Amino acid sequence: MAIGDLAFLIPLLPALAFVLTFFLGKKLPNGGAIIPIAAIATSFVISLLITLNLLQNPGEVITQSYSWFAMFNLGILVDPLAAVMLTMVTFVSLLIHIYSVGYMSHDRSQSRYFAETALFTASMLSLILSDNILQLFISWELVGVCSYLLIGFWYQKPAAATAAKKAFLTTRIGDVMFLAGIVILFSDLFKIFNGTIPDGVFIMRFDEIFAHIPELAAMNANILGMEVSHITIITLLFFGGAVGKSGQFPLHVWLPDAMEGPTTVSALIHAATMVTAGVYLVARTFPMFIAAPDTLLVVAYLGAFTAIFAATMGIVMNDLKRVLAYSTISQLGYMMLGLGIGAAIGAEAVGMSIFHLINHAFFKALLFLCAGSVIHAVGTHDMRQLGGVAKVMPITAATMIIAALSLAGFGIPGTIFGTSGFFSKDAIIEGAYLFGESSGMWIPYVLSIVAALLTSIYIFRLIFMTFFGKPRTDYGGHESHASMTIPLSILALLALFFGGLTSRRFNDFVSETFGNNFVNMNIPELAEMGGYHLAAHVGHEPVLILWMPLIVAVAGLLIAYLIYGLKVVNMDNLVSRNNPVYKLLYNRYYQNAIFTDFISVKIIYEGFAFAVRSIDRGFDWVVNWISDVTIETGDSLRQFQTGVIQTYATAVVAGVGLLIVLIKVIMEVI
């Protein structure tokens, strides 16, 4: 039996673990953590075997699909893209689950935690495995629900409940766009088939969708006097969904607030599952994106802007986890940028972006778990109260520094020496350079290189403030338990070496996604349809460009060291409420004021909700009126039931008398 036949077990086992843990968890030690751990470990082994098999036999893409209803199907598709994602998700999720055993050991709702994380993992895995867009959407929504449950895990805390709601509603905006895209896609495909779909053709399956890209591109809609191709609309709507899920610029507001959940949940959301879903969606439907004029440019610009936008806010945050949250947004921006530059380099962009996604998963999970370890031991996540933690928690400090190096992107260009983050981020920045070179649009490159500098500054600021210097307050810290440090060490090894070992191979492997027996796309041809001119491969840039990311990374490290390590610059003047720039950044560009206080409260709540409420009141009145009349009628009618037998007798006699008279009269008339 081929290992591919077991692919369906990958999401099924965690889902089963969810059911078991949910019902039996309370009776087992550690909240039944062993069930999801075992399930996800099995899934990991299966995914790893599938990936290795695919590496050796590139053609053996696993496709299974079963008719669901009408022209829809349920199925699984494991191509290189899905395989690496599966392996990464199961692996990171497994480590986080093991780590959680220690981290959540004091929580009373452990079993609920493990059940929900198992469901979360299961939904994400089924999202990755989907071979049609409808199934992907269902899993997408499931992921959203689970994130709601997990962010609001400590629902007793009002902040957590609010954050959960915010996350759910914000991503929902994206979800609605995604759904709208699916609906348009469906109706277009239906039109292409002239409404008669042959048996065995499932029109929402990716191969079917991709096969009809030329027809989709030929359809035009007239929006505000502009001729817009349908494929542009669809891809923009899909990207809207990805913006919501992956925390890109206008819809990123939920991500920092999502820190209200347990730190392990943050690690799970930010590293392995939720936020990567958006990137995965764009990568999965990349042939559509590259065939759509201008969509990829939007992706690139928005990604680059998000990268720098979030990085600036990361610099001023004082909360350990919030810095990491903004870092996640920034890195997701990089991933989107990586996809966007597919406009210049074609399918290789998917490889680069997913490569960064995987590396990011490793070092971001590591960063979060380290932060969790610090928080668990010290009991605070305000960096101003920390300092000198490295002395009491050497393993955590060491692993966190490795993660920071990886995030900042330290490595020597042209060799295999370097952290994982270096290889992937470098590739994206160089891709952005090529993008600028071929199209003349340099803004993404400039933004990405500045963001790289800022990344380095904020992450080393975090390191210096937390782990070095003198303790600023008294705290009793101790190194965490082995169940927490071992996952940290494993992740640290990966964050250091994974990129270097796989760099070139990985790109080629993932780029094969769109050239196999299931989906066979001619990417350059599609790019022509979208009006893009593909450049040559990465690696022909000037030397300065190759070294630039490293230079800015080192520069960031030095700046952070000077300011926060040696304190040569007195920050007190700069960091004050009177400094307008600091104020702007600290208040996060007043997004809260704009999004929450203005748009949500003023427009949605007070304006729109009022109108809806008035209509609702109208319906209420009608409904209440009907019920009132019924109640009053009944009230008066029930007075007939006096409970006195004479009354009933009287009524019977009177009734009989009247009946007889009536019959008599009728008989006479007849």
**Any idea which residue has 């990567």 for tokens?**
276
Cα–Cα distance, 168 to 147 (Å, whole number): 8
Would you say 55 or 659 has its CB closer to another protein?
Answer: 659
- The verdict on 668 binding another protein (CB under 8 A) reads no
Q: Give phi and psi for 65, each to the nearest 5.
A: -150, 140
User: Are residues 63 and 50 in contact, defined by beta-carbon separation less than 8 angstroms?
Assistant: no
Would you say 196 or 636 has its CB closer to another protein?
Answer: 636
- The verdict on 662 binding another protein (CB under 8 A) reads no
Among 641, 667, 668, 669, binds another protein (CB under 8 A): 641
- The verdict on 667 binding another protein (CB under 8 A) reads no
**Any idea which residue has 């270096």 for tokens?**
422
In total, the chain counts a number of residues equal to 670
Among 158, 643, 666, 670, binds another protein (CB under 8 A): 643
Size of the site for another protein (CB under 8 A): 19
Tokens for 39, please give them: 């399930």
- The verdict on 574 binding another protein (CB under 8 A) reads no
Q: Which phi-psi region, left, alpha or beta, contains residue 87 (left: φ > 0; alpha: ψ -120 to 50)? A: alpha
Cα–Cα distance, 274 to 364 (Å, whole number): 13
Would you say 618 or 657 has its CB closer to another protein?
Answer: 657
**How many CB atoms lie under 10 A from the CB of residue 301?**
18
CA angle 331, 334, 339 (to 5 degrees): 135
Angle between helices 543-560 and 443-467 (to 10 degrees): 30
Would you say 223 or 658 has its CB closer to another protein?
Answer: 658
Among 645, 666, 667, 669, binds another protein (CB under 8 A): 645
- The verdict on 501 binding another protein (CB under 8 A) reads no
- The verdict on 632 binding another protein (CB under 8 A) reads no
DSSP-derived secondary structure letter, 451? H
Tokens for 551, please give them: 């230079």
Among 221, 594, 612, 661, binds another protein (CB under 8 A): 661
Residues 236-265 that bind another protein (CB under 8 A): none
Give the shortest CB-663-to-another protein separation in angstroms: 10
Cα–Cα distance, 453 to 449 (Å, whole number): 7
Would you say 194 or 646 has its CB closer to another protein?
Answer: 646
Judged by CB under 8 A, which stretch of 130-138, 295-303, 493-501, 649-657 contacts another protein? 649-657
Cα–Cα distance, 134 to 316 (Å, whole number): 41
Report which residue type is found at 46.
I
Smallest CA-to-CA distance from 362 within 437, 302, 425, 455 is with 425
- The verdict on 642 binding another protein (CB under 8 A) reads yes
Give the shortest CB-147-to-another protein separation in angstroms: 54
Among 614, 646, 667, 670, binds another protein (CB under 8 A): 646
- The verdict on 601 binding another protein (CB under 8 A) reads no
Would you say 569 or 656 has its CB closer to another protein?
Answer: 656
Would you say 482 or 654 has its CB closer to another protein?
Answer: 654
Would you say 601 or 659 has its CB closer to another protein?
Answer: 659
Judged by CB under 8 A, which stretch of 139-147, 164-172, 314-322, 656-664 contacts another protein? 656-664
What lies within 8 Å, CB to CB, of 17 at 6+ separation is 35, 36, 38, 39, 40, 115, 118, 122
Q: Give phi and psi for 72, each to the nearest 5.
A: -105, 155
- The verdict on 187 binding another protein (CB under 8 A) reads no
- List interacting residues with another protein (CB under 8 A): 638-646, 649-650, 653-654, 656-658, 660-661, 664
